């Protein structure tokens, strides 16, 4: 350790760390840190600070910044310190700048010069320190300044320098690929470096490069395979062994690279089979690292061209993972299963119960991973169960990132595999209800389109059934509080289009509901816009049907409110609605045709209906319109009216200046049209509507160009979904996959034969009935899989065959899980005390002792014992902030009397019970000494030394947290 | 790639942070708060992995100290778990039965060691011996630094001429 004895820092600094450790709340800690910042600000600007002192200030700045406070006032001093000749100080300076600065910080420019100097240093440690900084701080701009030197260092005699140079170059490549593209061959060269460390480091950049362009590195397949072989055969120095595995980290990197190279390439893959198989066989599956390599092998096998033998051993390994007690291994097993399932779907079936156990595990991480697996193995036969489960899970998630992901997966699966439109709509409703604001708005539009389009042209009754069921479900849902905006938009749109279509509900009922929605969500303008458009549709349908329209009072007040709205959009809609109410049936049918949202809209791009108007204007002497294309190539235009063109060209300058603006201009306002153009051909908005044109030609009052424009824009909002350009691939698949089947009937697999249809139908029925049962879940999740594979051999009767063993198995499994559940439960609740024990399993006797002591002491003092229990319960329901509050570093200087901190932790208890001794540090030490030694375990001498040292510094081991003194490696 | 390394105590105190991807100071505080809420509350028998903001955080508890590393979705979690262990073993060898207190008072040394192990978010050296040798070389150099300072500065001055 350092030169000043102890931990190498001044008393002042130790005091700082101590007081922060003893801070009882975040606020107190902040106060201490802010005070420290003030002190540092003052001190650091003093003239002639001794360098050693300065170094400590910099380290204190690092500490302050680590605790989340701003230490930017001292950055410049850290930068200055990098310039120092003394390597001691330089290193500290470098460390501080790498921790303080991001790559785009202004101060970096002041360090570049120093880095350049240091990269040329004779001392390889200086070079290494500089390279560390290069990796962190050199940005795209400054790469050229150091690049030549870094490249030179690739050939440095010290392997540590070569290694860091490779990593630096890799970093440059990540930052700005173009700057080092010409140097990529260097990585290949370094792969053959004599030093395994350098070789290992080179694998990082190569992995990145191969990810980007596989084909350029196909020639290296043999080299990588042979390196891997040598590593596996322990040809590397013993020092690379890790827990008896030969250089596992290098093996993993190599396997990752091979997976990339062998993907979809049979020839390359064949070169790897032997070595990957060998490694799988040799792997020690009892150690963590062995399993890490094993897992990487499975990833590799699932990525390269499939080999039956390897797949088999991968499946075995997965089975081992899944059967393991360790959650980590289960997690990896599930992940690996997800990878392998694409190649051999039948493998999932063997592990169905394990998968379902994971699905019901209390560990959220594992659960999520399992859902990911289910997502990968979804098909039309099990989509209902899976999506149902996913939504149930989604409802309880709080984290929005997570929720969005699950929601979008539900949507994706539903769109892809929906067995019926009815089911699709119901599922979407659930997704929207619970995660509506997180779903892509496109999904809502898809849903609207699906309801509008139905199954296609042929089956009208099914379509209308679908719509009425949608309407019914929405009328049910709409009364629920706090629905997401997107969902409300869908609801309003559907109610407007189809609310009255089947005659089941009266117009006043639907309009009433719509007004309720608008009122309940009065802050949401979009919803209000949808609602009023829906009202407009319903009223015009009523008018068209020749019925008398009676506007409910609440509708009337809603319309009036919107008439005075600040939103011009809402106002516009309200006025339009009012106008429609005054029209007769014939007009209304034209404006709002029934169920026409999917009709193709004919767009009259030439705007021929305006011809008469244009002609009139020309006759009055207006200039004819010249298309933009002709205007730009003015001189070689030889079309009609060449005279006028000549005239224009004589005013070339003026023309350029005034009339070049886009042709949209003349179409916007009518006065301009009249004055500047005769032949009016504005670029039409793509959202023109057929009905609008009809209106334009038949009802002159509406055909005023200005209002037409506005109107079009507004209506485009709701009509968009019907446009033919909108149709994407997703719904068409759902339609294509699914033959038209009556609502509610389970979907049948199109591939399976007619006899099996009945069977799968039956099995589905059962599953739905008792879905709580695990084996049923298994059957419904995995049944589809087995069907597609076993069916070929065994014809039909397959359901009983898989179901019975599954049931038996699940019975056993259930017993087993309930047992383990009990087992698991017992060790959990007592938090802190047991935590200690658990981490020192290997030396149980040692860790028991202090607690026996503790127990004996407990009886002495009732007060403190209540304190402990309360604490135990507090940490039983862990809350970080409260934990934070009770933390204290067990650093107490013996001299200061008022050190007894908030008596909460068990260790503190110990010192508290020691009572008086605590007042004078020495007495206390006698009590704690044995504990300390025992805790220290195998390394008695070292821990004794440390103990002595610590005491010398006034740090007593029996603060509130004896854990501070625990060996991390118990 | 490792995006950052965090050492948090059981009580939520930060013992070491190292950021390999750019995170502004405000964001860092937020990340630490979020993650300590997520990790410190997890039970002892659960996975050592947490999915977080589309990344994965691998953590491991040693006595009262949590070592956390944030990685990409497709990285090998067990490998990272072992990298953490690798780091702890090196710390243990360096400090001699390392405990949390060692790291509190010598956090800058912990940083130096980390710099020898990871660089730019990748594992640069997997041999314990090599790392230890390198750190020892640096330490011995530091101790003789004062004597060398003058000659070193001459060398550097010469090299940059």
3-state secondary structure of A120: coil
pLDDT of amino acid A7: 53
Nearest in space to A830 (alpha carbons), one of A931, A908, A906, A903:
A906
Count H helices, E strands: chain B?
A: 6, 7
With beta carbons less than 8 A apart as the criterion, state whether A104 and A139 touch. Answer: yes
pLDDT of amino acid A924: 39
CB spacing of B96 vs A946 below 8 angstroms = yes
Rounded-to-integer distance, Cα A872 and Cα A870, Å: 5
Min Cα distance A197 → chain B (Å) is 6
With beta carbons less than 8 A apart as the criterion, state whether A968 and B100 touch. Answer: yes
Rounded-to-integer distance, Cα A161 and Cα A198, Å: 9
Residues 6+ apart with CB under 8 A from A938: A843, B97
Contacts of B41 in chain A (CB under 8 A): 878, 880
Whether B3 contacts chain A with CB within 8 A:
no
A605 phi/psi in degrees, rounded to 5: -65, -30
Q: Which residue has the tokens 């309801």?
A: A451
Both tokens of A571, joined, read 């106002």
Strands of the sheet containing B55-62, edge to edge, are: B14-19, B2-9, B65-71, B55-62, B49-52
For the stretch A533-572, pLDDT in tens is 888 888 888 888 877 777 888 888 888 888 888 888 888 8
pLDDT of amino acid A765: 46
pLDDT of amino acid A950: 61
pLDDT of amino acid A674: 45
Residues 6+ apart with CB under 8 A from A707: none
Instruction: Kindly tell me if the per-residue pLDDT of A941 is higher than 90.
Output: no
CB spacing of A967 vs B148 below 8 angstroms = no
- Reported as a pLDDT band with limits 50, 70 and 90, residue A704 is very low
Instruction: Kindly tell me if the per-residue pLDDT of B72 is higher than 80.
Output: yes
Specify the range with the lowest mean pLDDT, choosing from A147-151, A328-332, A389-393, B147-151. B147-151
With beta carbons less than 8 A apart as the criterion, state whether A252 and A242 touch. Answer: no
CB spacing of A366 vs B46 below 8 angstroms = yes
Rounded-to-integer distance, Cα B150 and Cα A579, Å: 93
A449's torsion region: left (phi>0), alpha (psi -120 to 50) or beta? alpha
Report DSSP letters for A664-685, one per residue.
HHHHHSHHHHHHH-SS--PPPP
Share the mean pLDDT of chain A.
Answer: 71
With beta carbons less than 8 A apart as the criterion, state whether A65 and A71 touch. Answer: yes
CB spacing of B12 vs A939 below 8 angstroms = no
Boundaries of every domain in chain B: 2-126
Range A1-30 average pLDDT: 72
pLDDT of amino acid A4: 37
Rounded-to-integer distance, Cα A747 and Cα B82, Å: 48
Whether B75 contacts chain A with CB within 8 A:
no
Nearest in space to A953 (alpha carbons), one of A13, A134, A47:
A13
Q: Tell me which residue in A126, A296, A824 faces B45 most closely, judged by beta carbons.
A: A824
Please state whether beta strands B55-62 and B49-52 pair in parallel, antiparallel, or not at all (unpaired): antiparallel
A344 phi/psi in degrees, rounded to 5: -135, 90
Rounded-to-integer distance, Cα B26 and Cα B82, Å: 30
Both tokens of B19, joined, read 């950021």
**Structure-model confidence comparison of residues B46 and A451, the more confident one:** B46
Rounded-to-integer distance, Cα A701 and Cα A961, Å: 85
Residues 6+ apart with CB under 8 A from A145: A112, A116, A138
Rounded-to-integer distance, Cα A683 and Cα A676, Å: 16
- Reported as a pLDDT band with limits 50, 70 and 90, residue B158 is low
Instruction: Kindly tell me if the per-residue pLDDT of A3 is higher than 50.
Output: no
A607's torsion region: left (phi>0), alpha (psi -120 to 50) or beta? left
Q: Which residue has the tokens 């259930």?
A: A814
With beta carbons less than 8 A apart as the criterion, state whether A898 and A845 touch. Answer: no
Cα–Cα separations (whole angstroms), residue A20 to A24, A623, A889, B116: 9, 83, 8, 29
Rounded-to-integer distance, Cα A228 and Cα A222, Å: 10
Give the rounded distance of the alpha carbon of A466 from its chain centre.
35
**Structure-model confidence comparison of residues A639 and A26, the more confident one:** A26
Length of chain A: 970
**Structure-model confidence comparison of residues A759 and A509, the more confident one:** A509
Whether B73 contacts chain A with CB within 8 A:
no
pLDDT of amino acid A346: 81
Residues 6+ apart with CB under 8 A from B57: B35, B38, B39, B49, B50, B51, B68, B69, B70, B71
Instruction: Kindly tell me if the per-residue pLDDT of A702 is higher than 50.
Output: no
Q: Tell me which residue in A8, A132, A296 faces B76 most closely, judged by beta carbons.
A: A296
Give the rounded distance of the alpha carbon of A784 from its chain centre.
30
Give the rounded distance of the alpha carbon of A352 from its chain centre.
27
- Reported as a pLDDT band with limits 50, 70 and 90, residue A439 is confident
Specify the range with the lowest mean pLDDT, choosing from A98-107, A923-932, B65-74. A923-932
Min Cα distance B74 → chain A (Å) is 10
Question: pTM for the whole thing?
Answer: 0.66
Boundaries of every domain in chain A: 440-594
**HEC-encoded secondary structure of A390-438:** HHHHHHCCCCHHHHHHHHHHHHHHHHHHCCCHHHHHHHHHHHHHHHHHH
Instruction: Kindly tell me if the per-residue pLDDT of A650 is higher than 90.
Output: no
- Reported as a pLDDT band with limits 50, 70 and 90, residue A710 is very low
Report DSSP letters for A842-896, one per residue.
GGHHHHHHHHHHHHHHHTT-HHHHHHHHHHHHHHHS--HHHHHHH---S---TT-
- Reported as a pLDDT band with limits 50, 70 and 90, residue B3 is very high
Instruction: Kindly tell me if the per-residue pLDDT of B15 is higher than 80.
Output: yes
Min Cα distance A28 → chain B (Å) is 13
Rounded-to-integer distance, Cα A22 and Cα A31, Å: 13
Residues 6+ apart with CB under 8 A from A393: A367, A371, A406
How many Å is the Cα radius of gyration of chain B? 18
Report DSSP letters for A442-492, one per residue.
HHHHHHHHHHHHTT-SS-HHHHHHHHHHHHHHHHHHTTSSS--HHHHHHHH
> What angle do the packed helices A729-737 and A441-453 form, to 10 degrees?
50
pLDDT of amino acid B31: 93
pLDDT of amino acid A480: 81
3-state secondary structure of B52: strand
pLDDT of amino acid A963: 65
**Structure-model confidence comparison of residues A46 and A839, the more confident one:** A46
Instruction: Kindly tell me if the per-residue pLDDT of A372 is higher than 60.
Output: yes
Contacts of B91 in chain A (CB under 8 A): 968
Beta strands in A682-787 (DSSP E): none
B13 phi/psi in degrees, rounded to 5: -85, 140
For the stretch A747-761, pLDDT in tens is 434 434 444 444 444
Instruction: Kindly tell me if the per-residue pLDDT of A965 is higher than 80.
Output: no
> What angle do the packed helices A441-453 and A421-435 form, to 10 degrees?
150
- Count of CB atoms situated within 10 Å of the CB of A811: 12
Rounded-to-integer distance, Cα B82 and Cα B71, Å: 13
A58 phi/psi in degrees, rounded to 5: -65, -40
Rounded-to-integer distance, Cα B98 and Cα A966, Å: 8
Rounded-to-integer distance, Cα A283 and Cα A780, Å: 36
Range A688-693 average pLDDT: 44
Rounded-to-integer distance, Cα A912 and Cα A459, Å: 83
Min Cα distance B92 → chain A (Å) is 7
**Structure-model confidence comparison of residues B82 and A425, the more confident one:** B82
Closest chain A residue to B37, measured at CA: A880
CB spacing of A883 vs B65 below 8 angstroms = no
B75's torsion region: left (phi>0), alpha (psi -120 to 50) or beta? beta
Highest mean pLDDT among A125-134, A415-424, A440-449, A548-557: A125-134
Both tokens of A453, joined, read 């389009």
- Count of CB atoms situated within 10 Å of the CB of B136: 11
Q: Tell me which residue in B92, B112, B122 faces A969 most closely, judged by beta carbons.
A: B92
Rounded-to-integer distance, Cα A576 and Cα A711, Å: 9
pLDDT of amino acid A778: 72
One of 1.10.3660.10, 3.60.21.10, 3.30.450.60, 3.40.50.2300 is the CATH number of B2-126, namely: 3.30.450.60
How many Å is the Cα radius of gyration of chain A? 38
Length of chain B: 161
pLDDT of amino acid A456: 57
3-state secondary structure of A819: helix
- Reported as a pLDDT band with limits 50, 70 and 90, residue B154 is low
pLDDT of amino acid B155: 66
Q: What secondary structure letter does DSSP report for A523? A: T
Range A5-9 average pLDDT: 52
With beta carbons less than 8 A apart as the criterion, state whether B91 and A968 touch. Answer: yes
Residues 6+ apart with CB under 8 A from A580: A536, A539, A540, A543, A588, A591, A592
Whether B13 contacts chain A with CB within 8 A:
yes
Rounded-to-integer distance, Cα A315 and Cα A345, Å: 11
Contacts of A333 in chain B (CB under 8 A): none
pLDDT of amino acid A772: 55
Contacts of A330 in chain B (CB under 8 A): 47
For the stretch B84-142, pLDDT in tens is 999 999 999 999 888 888 888 888 899 999 999 999 889 988 888 888 888 888 887 66
B50 phi/psi in degrees, rounded to 5: -135, 135
Instruction: Kindly tell me if the per-residue pLDDT of B76 is higher than 50.
Output: yes
Rounded-to-integer distance, Cα A754 and Cα A764, Å: 15
């Amino acid at each position: 350790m350092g030169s000043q004895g102890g931990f190498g820092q001044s008393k002042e600094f130790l005091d700082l760390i101590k007081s922060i450790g003893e801070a009882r709340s975040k606020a107190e800690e902040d106060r201490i840190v802010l005070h420290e910042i003030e002190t540092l600000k003052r001190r650091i600007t003093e003239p002639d600070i001794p360098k050693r002192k300065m170094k400590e200030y910099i380290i204190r700045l690092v500490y302050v910044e680590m605790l989340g406070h701003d230490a930017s006032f001292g950055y410049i001093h850290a930068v200055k310190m990098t310039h120092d000749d003394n390597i001691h100080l330089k290193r500290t300076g470098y460390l501080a700048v790498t921790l303080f600065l991001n790559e785009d910080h202004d101060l970096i420019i002041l360090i570049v010069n120093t880095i350049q100097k240091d990269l040329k240093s004779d001392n390889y440690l200086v070079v290494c320190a500089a390279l560390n900084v290069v990796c962190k701080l050199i940005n795209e701009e400054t790469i050229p300044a150091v690049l030549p030197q870094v490249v030179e260092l690739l050939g440095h005699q010290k392997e540590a320098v070569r290694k860091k140079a490779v990593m630096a170059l890799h970093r440059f490549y990540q930052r700005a690929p173009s700057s080092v593209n010409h140097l990529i061959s260097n990585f290949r060269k370094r792969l053959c470096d004599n030093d395994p460390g350098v070789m290992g480091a080179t694998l990082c950049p190569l992995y990145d490069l191969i990810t980007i362009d596989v084909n350029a590195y196909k020639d290296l397949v043999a080299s990588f395979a042979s390196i891997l072989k040598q590593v596996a055969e322990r040809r590397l120095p013993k020092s690379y062994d890790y827990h008896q595995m030969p250089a596992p980290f290098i093996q993993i990197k190599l396997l990752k690279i091979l997976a990339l190279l062998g993907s979809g390439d049979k020839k390359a893959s064949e070169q790897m089979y032997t070595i990957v198989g060998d490694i799988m066989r040799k792997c020690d599956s009892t150690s963590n690292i062995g399993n890490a390599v094993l897992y990487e092998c499975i990833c590799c096998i699932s990525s390269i061209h499939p080999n039956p033998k390897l797949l088999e051993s991968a499946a075995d390994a997965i089975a081992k993972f899944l059967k393991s007690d360790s959650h980590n291994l289960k997690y990896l097993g599930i992940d690996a299963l997800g990878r392998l399932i694409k190649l051999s779907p039948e493998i999932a079936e063997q592990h169905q119960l394990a998968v379902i156990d994971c699905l019901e595990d209390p560990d959220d991480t594992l659960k999520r991973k399992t859902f990911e697996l289910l997502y990968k193995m979804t098909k039309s036969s099990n989509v209902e169960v899976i999506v149902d489960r996913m939504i149930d899970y989604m409802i309880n998630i709080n984290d929005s990132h997570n929720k969005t992901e699950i929601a979008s997966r539900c949507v994706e699966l539903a769109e892809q595999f929906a067995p019926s439109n009815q089911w699709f709509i119901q599922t979407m409703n659930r997704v929207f209800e619970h995660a509506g604001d997180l779903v892509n708005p496109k999904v809502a539009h898809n849903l609207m389109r699906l309801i509008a389009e139905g199954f296609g042209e042929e089956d009208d009754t099914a379509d209308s059934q679908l719509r009425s069921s949608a309407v019914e479900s929405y009328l049910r849902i709409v009364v629920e509080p706090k629905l997401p905006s997107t969902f409300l938009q869908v609801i309003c749109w559907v109610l407007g289009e189809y609310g009255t279509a089947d005659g089941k509900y009266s117009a006043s009922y639907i309009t009433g509901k719509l007004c309720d929605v608008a009122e309940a969500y009065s802050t949401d303008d979009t919803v209000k816009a949808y609602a009023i458009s829906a009202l407009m549709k319903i009223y015009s349908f009523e008018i068209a049907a020749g019925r008398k329209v009676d506007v409910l009072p609440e509708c009337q007040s809603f319309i009036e409110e919107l008439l005075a709205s600040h939103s011009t959009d809402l106002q516009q809609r309200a006025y339009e609605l009012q106008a429609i109410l005054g029209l007769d049936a014939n007009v209304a049918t034209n404006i709002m045709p029934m169920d026409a949202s999917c009709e193709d809209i004919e767009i009259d791009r030439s705007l021929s209906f305006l011809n008469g108007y244009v002609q009139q204007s020309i006759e009055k002497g207006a200039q004819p319109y010249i298309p933009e294309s002709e205007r730009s190539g003015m001189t070689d235009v030889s079309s009609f009216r060449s005279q006028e063109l000549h005239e224009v060209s004589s005013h070339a300058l003026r023309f350029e200046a005034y009339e070049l603006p886009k042709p949209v201009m003349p179409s916007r306002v009518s006065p301009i049209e009249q004055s500047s153009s005769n032949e009016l051909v504005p670029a039409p908005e793509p959202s023109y509507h057929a009905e609008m044109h009809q209106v334009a030609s038949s009802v002159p009052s509406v055909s005023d160009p200005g209002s037409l424009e506005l109107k079009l824009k507004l209506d485009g909002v709701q009509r968009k979904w019907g446009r033919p350009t909108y149709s994407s691939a997703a719904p068409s698949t759902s339609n294509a996959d699914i033959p038209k089947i009556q609502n509610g009937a389970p979907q049948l697999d199109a591939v399976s034969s007619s006899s099996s249809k009945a069977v799968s139908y039956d099995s589905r029925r059962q599953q739905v009935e008792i879905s709580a049962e695990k084996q049923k879940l298994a059957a419904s999740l995995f049944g589809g899989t087995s069907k597609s594979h076993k069916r070929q051999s065994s014809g039909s009767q397959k359901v009983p065959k898989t179901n019975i063993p599954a049931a038996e198995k699940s019975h056993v499994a259930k017993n087993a899980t309930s047992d383990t559940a009990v087992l698991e439960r017992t060790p959990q609740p007592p938090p802190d005390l047991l935590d200690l024990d658990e981490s020192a399993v290997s030396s149980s006797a040692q860790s028991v002792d202090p607690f026996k002591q503790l127990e004996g002491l407990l009886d002495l003092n009732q007060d403190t014992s209540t304190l402990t229990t309360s604490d135990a319960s507090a940490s039983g329901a862990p809350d970080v902030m409260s934990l934070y509050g009770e933390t204290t570093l067990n650093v107490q200087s013996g001299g200061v009397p008022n050190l007894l901190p908030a008596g909460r932790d068990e260790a503190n208890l110990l010192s508290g019970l020691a009572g008086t001794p605590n007042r004078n540090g020495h007495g206390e030490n006698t009590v704690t000494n044995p504990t300390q030694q025992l805790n220290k375990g195998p390394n008695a001498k070292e821990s004794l030394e440390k103990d002595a040292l610590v005491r010398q510094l006034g740090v007593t081991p029996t603060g509130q947290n004896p854990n501070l003194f625990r060996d991390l490696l118990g | 790639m490792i995006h950052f390394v965090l050492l948090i105590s059981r009580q939520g105190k930060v013992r070491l942070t190292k950021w390999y991807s750019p995170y502004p100071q405000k964001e860092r505080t937020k990340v630490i708060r979020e993650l300590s809420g997520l990790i410190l509350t997890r039970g002892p028998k659960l996975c050592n992995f947490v999915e977080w903001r589309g990344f994965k955080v691998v953590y491991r508890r040693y006595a009262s100290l949590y070592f956390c590393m944030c990685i990409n979705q497709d990285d090998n979690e067990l490998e990272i778990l072992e990298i953490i262990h690798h780091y702890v073993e090196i710390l243990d060898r360096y400090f001699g039965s390392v405990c949390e207190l060692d790291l509190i008072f010598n956090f800058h040394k912990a940083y130096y060691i980390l710099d020898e192990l990871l660089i730019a978010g990748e594992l640069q050296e997997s041999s314990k011996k090599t790392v230890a040798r390198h750190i020892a070389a640096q330490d011995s150099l530091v101790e003789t630094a004062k004597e060398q300072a003058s000659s070193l500065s001459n060398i550097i001055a010469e090299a940059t001429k």
